[in-house]
Amino acid sequence: MTTAPDPAWPLGALFRSDAERREALSGKVAVVTGASRGLGAGIAAHLASAGIALGLCARHRPELVAVTRPRAHDGVIEAAVAPVAAAVDVADPRALAAFAERVLERFGRIDMWINNAGVLGPVGPLRLAPPEEVGRATAVDVSGVLYGSALFAAHVRGRAGTGVLVNISSGLATNPSSGLATYCAAKAAVEMATEVVAREERDAGLVAFAVSPGVVDTDMQVQLRASDPAQLPSVARYRQLEESASFASATWVAEHLLGLAFGGHEVGQVRLRVPPEKTQPTSR
Ligand SMILES: NC(=O)c1ccc[n+]([C@@H]2O[C@H](COP(=O)([O-])OP(=O)(O)OC[C@H]3O[C@@H](n4cnc5c(N)ncnc54)[C@H](OP(=O)(O)O)[C@@H]3O)[C@@H](O)[C@H]2O)c1
């Protein structure tokens, strides 16, 4: 009998020192989908502040104030790299491919691809869910992740060096929650697809992770808290999380993703859960 690997975070310090972190992140390029708000916008801001060049997309064109890789002289910024930011529906494979092309034209390569875009989908018993809402959510949460994973895998296979794929999952991938059948099914599918891609692309230097970020206070949490208890029996739990302010920040999640991707760790498992934010991540 095999047991599923524990998704708890298996790594110690994210980077051994600030100098090692700077060195490891130097010149890196990342894509973040769903970067217009919520977790994706927070991840983008943190990666930008770490000096990473970015390709960002969402249905609403992401606006990132920070510019990456600023070079300053006497306190004046002389040069900086603006992100490639585009309005893209991840459920549209052609639009996503055109966006990836633009990022590659600008930066030459992509080192890390984070499929973060997602929707909650219909809330309530599946028997009552409008089929078009089920289909639409699945197109974004499953197909969108598959399209992004495929584009990045093809890119990594076609060039030298490694690449890190991060598919944002959820604790609901493995915890059935009444009222959220479409979302639970989508995240379970994302985790399995990530396992498959990790196997398929290992020989090409791609490492793939399905990462459950913990609870981050975003529009998705607002939607959960606003749900009718008759449709979502666990709504009290989401309201309680707000009362106790038990949220992880996007910065915390983003720094863990950087450590995972560039910290030089032998991780040995695909499914991971970012630990709760108790203390800020620091270098050892
Ligand atoms: N927040 C949490 O506690 C939590 C917990 C576990 C997992 N997650 C996961 O984390 C990810 C981000 O969630 P969030 O909480 O930040 O949600 P959110 O605040 O609702 O943000 C979702 C992001 O996805 C984008 N998006 C939605 N549909 C899209 C589409 N068809 N094409 C492109 N972009 C699209 C949205 O931008 P536009 O509206 O501009 O398209 C937005 O930028 C999701 O995968 C979610 O399942 C979140």
Partnered with residue 271 across adjacent β-strands are: 210
pLDDT tens digit sequence for 18-55: 999 999 999 999 999 999 999 999 999 999 989 999 99
Interatomic CA distance for residues 208 and 197, integer angstroms? 7
**Across the beta sheet with 29-33, what order do the strands follow?**
84-87, 53-58, 29-33, 112-115, 163-168, 206-212, 271-273
Structural domains in the chain plus CATH codes: 18-70+78-214+249-273 (3.40.50.720)
Q: Which of 15, 107, 183, 252 is catalytic?
A: 183
How many A from CA of 76 to the centre of ligand 1?
Answer: 35
How many A from CA of 71 to the centre of ligand 1?
Answer: 32
Q: What is the pLDDT of residue 13?
A: 74
Is 203 exposed, middle or buried, given 0-12, 13-18 or 19+ CB atoms closer than 10 A?
Answer: exposed
Q: What is the pLDDT of residue 68?
A: 64
Q: 282 falls in which pLDDT band (50, 70, 90)? A: very low
Q: Which atom of ligand 1 is nearest to the CA of 216?
A: 3
* Block residue for tokens 């984070």: 114
Mark whether 238 is an active-site residue. Answer: no
Q: What is the pLDDT of residue 79?
A: 56
Interatomic CA distance for residues 43 and 223, integer angstroms? 21
Which stretch of DSSP H or E encloses residue 212? Answer: strand 206-212
Q: How far is CA 96 from CA 89, 192, 194, in A?
A: 7, 22, 18
Best of 31, 33, 39 for a ligand 1 pocket test (most atoms within 8 Å of beta carbon): 39
Q: What is the pLDDT of residue 198?
A: 98
pLDDT tens digit sequence for 139-154: 999 999 999 999 999 9
Nearest of 258, 224, 260, 219 to residue 239 by alpha carbon: 224
pLDDT(82) > 70: yes
Q: 1 falls in which pLDDT band (50, 70, 90)? A: very low
What share of residues in the chain are helix, strand, coil (percent, to 5)? 45, 15, 40
Q: Which residues sit with their C-beta closer than 6 Å to ligand 1?
A: 33-40, 58-60, 88-91, 116-119, 140, 168, 170, 213, 215-216, 218-221
Cα–Cα–Cα angle for 273, 276, 278, rounded to 5 degrees? 150
Comparison of pLDDT for 128 and 284, the residue scoring more: 128
Alpha carbon nearest to ligand 1 atom 25, residue: 34
Q: How far is CA 172 from CA 178, 192, 231, in A?
A: 11, 14, 16
Tell me what the pLDDT averaged over the chain comes to.
Answer: 92
